Amino acid sequence: MNWSWSDVVSSNADVLARSSGATAPNGGSKATFHAAEHGTVNLQATAACVGCDEVKTWKIVAEVK
The end-to-end CA distance of the chain, in Å, is 39
pTM of the complete model: 0.81
The arithmetic mean of pLDDT across residues 37-49, rounded, is 96
Nearest to 23 by CA among 44, 8, 38: 8
Q: Which residues pair with 18 in a beta bridge?
A: 33
Residue 31, pLDDT > 90, answer yes
pLDDT at position 51 is 87
Q: Is the pLDDT of residue 17 over 90?
A: yes
H/E segment holding residue 3: strand 2-5
Residue 6: its pLDDT value, please?
95
